[in-house]
Chain A
Amino acid sequence: MSRAGRFALGALGLALAVFALAPAGSTATAGQDAKKAVWDGNRTTPAHLIPLRDENDQPIIPTETNPLPYSSRFTCGPCHDYKTIQGGWHFGAMTATKSGRPGEPWIQLDPKTGTVLPLSYRKWAGTFDPRALGLTAWDFTMLFGRHLPGGGPAEPSDEEVLAHPEARWSVSGKAEVNCLACHNKSGRQDHSEWAKQVLRENLRWAATAAGGVGEVGGMASRLKETWDVYDGPNLDDHEWAVVPSVKYSTSNFDSKHRYFFDLNYQPADDRCLACHSVSAKDEPRMNTDPDVHSTAGLKCADCHRNDLGHVIIRGYEGEAAETGNRTAESFTCRGCHLGENEVGEKSVVPGRLGAPFPKHTGIPLIHFKRLACTVCHSGPKPKEGFTRVRTSLANRLGIYGVATWATDMPAVIEPVYAKSAGHKIAPNRLVWPAFWAKMSGEEVAPLQPEVVDAAAGDILKPEDRIAQALVALSQVMAEDEIPVLVSGKFVFAPNVDGGIDSAERPGAKADTPAFWGIRKGSDILPLIPDFDPAAADKDPAVETRFLEFLQALGTVPGAPGQPVIAVKKTLYKLVDGVLDMSDAPAELAGAAGPGWLAEGKFAPLGSDFDIRTVTAKAGTEQTLTEEQVALVLAALAKSGEKSDFVYISGGRMFRLDKNGKLAAGAHPAAQPVTWPLAHNVRPAQQSLGWNGCTDCHSGGSDFFFTKLRGTGPLLTANVEKRSAASFMGLGGIFQRFFGLSFITRPLFKVVLAVCAFVIGSLVFLAGLLALGRLAGFLEKRAEP
């Protein structure tokens, strides 16, 4: 073949190849796109009878041996683009470029070290980026996975996994975006199960278990870090290190192994409230009202809606401009009810979903310029000392079971009316941060609780030591006896969690010296009764009990010495398991009661420091004393680093001064963290201003003048105190003066009305007179 012929044949071949491949390629793309669900206009939700697929994109046969849990990425992903969803508000915090208006931060709570640390991957004021504190995605998931809907930090990138080999992702798997967490209509959706599975490190199984798709057993947390999901069950251990497994609920599968998901397009309110409930602390449920929008029949997702991208409309003014999503303009309070944007321009048609148009009769315009709608309409009404609430995310609400998950700490306060970035006052929730930190200049670098705990040694463990002694003694108590420590006004008794509970003794004095006792009914008897070891007729039963006590105290882990009981210069101890009674050496002459003998020295069962510390904190929420803080700061200073260490609590920064004394001062890092609240919206009649201006404008209104005291884990009187007005950037003196002016305002209105009437009448008369002259009526009338 000639060169030209070969070229022509080659060109033809290339052309044919291009012709053949091009349509194939476009068909493939079209085919792929066709798999994505596009709304055809019908408003029903299709029945989701679909094959389940595991994380390897393999079909799941529910009846086969050891099936894997279903994977939302491969089960839901074929129709709903998974990557698009991953960028949604609930999943994309780590990679989001815009932070939006501040929302509720995650709060790392560690009562022992007194840590209340606000965290967020978003750049919100007052919060710390977990990555900057050395918290890996694994750490974050273990801390907060209980209320994560999967995805985000619970589904880290492969790079993140490789970068932190100490994390146990290979054992637990990743918690993929849990579609069912929001969209499951089934009553089987169980948030508590999700939290339990996350705690067990059963991350890849959590969605299956929580959604009621299957029953999950075993605990990944008990497996060795070398275990892999393909290793299968642990044949050597069926009791403890049981491998997680799924037993699918076969009744929901058809004969083709397709599973029926009972789904909502719009999540039901319960699904949102699982993670977004807020309730007043100590308020009975029967007194708690739902949001007025819910009462009117709206669902959360009616306003907080989203497309496939799951960038949920948060509903704040300015969101549309920030996100470029113009729909958001319709779902602010102003947009929906007034049709206005954030600057008051008519921008959308109001009344969406039947929103009523408010008249706001008699409300001066300045209120609409300076206040967010939520000031008057949302959250609890202002009251003396604010309202303490608990939120799902901060206080671990909504996780039910034998163990109590919900906590009172951190103390979340609302409504704190504060000026927002848009210079409007809006109600906020507030938390005072508390944490240990290393100072670099004026910058604070928070320390993780385990770092503090390691440096503190025994300083933070008085409760543990008291509890260990009481728990040990409880082993030898009769059924109706409980070992207790009595100190001051309080009685400390062991609880089921191995800790101690305190109860106030009615009528007891604060200076009651500490003693160990036995509670029988309502009586408290001394653990060591009045007893003379040298007496000839001594009761042998007493010494038998001493033997039991010493045996019990011998089981205390990490005891500082040998357990002994000193009674009137006689020392009881165990020698080869037998009770030994000997005269106390001269140096132990002052010893009395149960204690420890170490290197020839007697130490009481509970040290003065321990008893002083637990007594001081009894009956309070605080977990640290100033003495403990000073000791821990000194311990941190000795830890080797030549840094300045501080502790922040209650709005103050504590550090050791040159004399080693604890000193407190102000610092921006100690300031409270706030985030705007929008719900619950109250009915119009319960809004501020319904009863008149004096709802807020009076000489002593709670709106302006209630005082906020800093709270935190540290028991101290040295806390920040601020008035409500200070958060608004308003002068308290002026507001008080202005409020007092409303006392005379009714009189002022009367005077103004009389003056206006007189002036108006005379102007009217003068006008009539002039008109009468012009028309000649008055001249005619004057003629005879």
Chain B
Amino acid sequence: MMFTIIVFLSVIGVFAGLTFHRFWTTREEAGATILYAELLKKYAAWLALRTIQTARKASPKAWWDYVKALSLWRLPDLEKWLFVGFYGSFAYLAASGFFFAIFVPRGLYGFPLVGHVMAGGLFAACLAVIVIFKGRNFISVPKPVNLSLALLDPRKMGITAARVKFAAFWLFVLAGFLLALSALVPMLPLLPTAGQKLMFELHRYTALASALAATVYVDLEARSARRS
């Protein structure tokens, strides 16, 4: 139950954060007021409008066109299939994992569980390859810092969309590592029941972190791609 609540709260939080960021950076009316209540009202109106617009545009055909237009299909074969495997396995892992964790009291079982385990292996393998060959693209170069109280000021931390995207990537990779670890270790004759419980919880919450990081990354990546 606690996990379900945390999932819902964090999904709402990330959604609100991303949409507000989009509202803040793209809408002129966002800068027209300094009153929080007024700002919130404008944000809510914009969000409602965008929801209706998106809903009107959404259709299976529109989705299919969107998928077909992804740059993924234009990649070289090896890379293309690497990413297909990676995205596909992650999508299945997230869908099966969260659906069963939230809506099925028994949890993940049966053939979906077998599929989850198999997809987990594929995901880990793809992630490892991606980190080896693409990770270098996500190394930002922070300047050396000096000891100062300014370090605690968010406005001076240099938080940019690009840096958040990089952080989301590495958070995703870290979560992927913990997911693989928390799937592997319970299969080995190492942990007693308490350790198994710990690994189970770690797997769930890391999966949540992974899904949220992926969402942030994809959103920011999609926007930067659209801009460019």
Q: State the A residues within 8 Å of B (CB).
A: 359-366, 368, 731, 734, 737-738, 741, 745, 748-749, 751-756, 758-760, 762-763, 766-767, 769-770, 773-776, 779
Contacts and interface: CB of A to CB of B under 8 A. Distances in A.
B190 A362 contact: yes
A756 B121 contact: no
A359 to B, nearest CB: 4
A760 B132 CA distance: 11
Contacts of A773: 141-144
A744 to B, nearest CB: 10
A745 B124 CA distance: 15
Interface in B160-189: 170, 173-174, 176-177, 180-181, 183-184, 186-189
Contacts of B180: 752, 755-756, 759
Contact of A734 (B110, B184, B188, B196): B110
Interface in B116-154: 117, 120-121, 124-125, 127-128, 131-132, 135, 138-145
24 contacts: A360-B192, A361-B192, A362-B187, A362-B188, A362-B189, A363-B196, A737-B114, A749-B188, A751-B121, A752-B120, A752-B124, A755-B121, A756-B124, A756-B180, A756-B181, A758-B128, A759-B173, A759-B176, A763-B173, A766-B139, A766-B173, A773-B142, A774-B142, A775-B144
A328 B119 CA distance: 45
Contacts of B173: 759, 762-763, 766
Nearest to A338: B193
Contacts of A763: 131, 170, 173-174, 177
Nearest to A737: B114
Nearest to A766: B170
B193 A368 contact: yes
A748 B124 CA distance: 11
Contacts of A745: 187
B124 A759 contact: yes
Nearest to B167: A770
A203 B59 CA distance: 84
B200 interface: yes
A774 B139 CA distance: 13
A201 B51 CA distance: 87
B125 to A, nearest CB: 5
A361 B190 contact: yes
B177 A756 contact: yes
B104 to A, nearest CB: 13
A779 B144 contact: yes
A767 B173 CA distance: 11
Nearest to A748: B121
B132 A762 contact: yes
A368 B189 CA distance: 16
Contacts, number: 108
Nearest to A747: B121
Given A760-B177, A774-B142, A774-B145, A361 B191 contact: yes
B8 interface: no
A751 B190 CA distance: 18
Closest 7 CB pairs of A and B: A776-B144, A362-B189, A755-B124, A756-B180, A359-B192, A758-B128, A759-B177
Contacts of B17: none
A10 to B, nearest CB: 73
A359 B184 CA distance: 19
A346 to B, nearest CB: 12
B114 A755 contact: no
Contacts of B121: 748, 751-752, 755
Contacts of A748: 117, 121
Contact of A364 (B120, B139, B142, B186): B186
A770 B107 contact: no
Contacts of B66: none
A756 B192 CA distance: 21
Nearest to B197: A365
Contact of B193 (A365, A738, A753, A770): A365
A762 B135 contact: yes
Contact of B189 (A361, A758, A762, A769): A361
Contacts of B110: 731, 734
B111 interface: yes
Given A362-B188, A775-B144, 18 more contacts: A361-B191, A741-B117, A751-B124, A755-B125, A755-B128, A756-B124, A756-B184, A758-B131, A758-B132, A759-B128, A766-B138, A766-B139, A773-B143, A773-B144, A774-B144, A774-B145, A775-B145, A776-B145
Nearest to A731: B110
Contacts of B141: 773
B170 A734 contact: no
A769 B125 CA distance: 24
A149 B139 CA distance: 81
B132 A360 contact: no
Nearest to A756: B180
A734 B112 CA distance: 11
A119 to B, nearest CB: 36
B187 A749 contact: yes
Given A364-B196, A741-B114, A773-B141, A759 B170 contact: no
B100 to A, nearest CB: 12
Contacts of B109: 366
A762 B140 CA distance: 15
B199 to A, nearest CB: 9
A65 to B, nearest CB: 69
Contacts of B191: 361-362
A626 B187 CA distance: 53
B140 to A, nearest CB: 8
A734 B181 contact: no
Contacts of B189: 361-362
A250 B174 CA distance: 86
A368 B139 CA distance: 44
A763 B174 CA distance: 6
A527 to B, nearest CB: 67
Nearest to B123: A755
Given A738-B114, A759-B173, A753 B184 contact: yes
Most buried by A among B125, B139, B177: B177
B187 to A, nearest CB: 6
Contact of A365 (B127, B138, B183, B196): B196
A75 to B, nearest CB: 51
A651 to B, nearest CB: 27
A364 B197 CA distance: 9
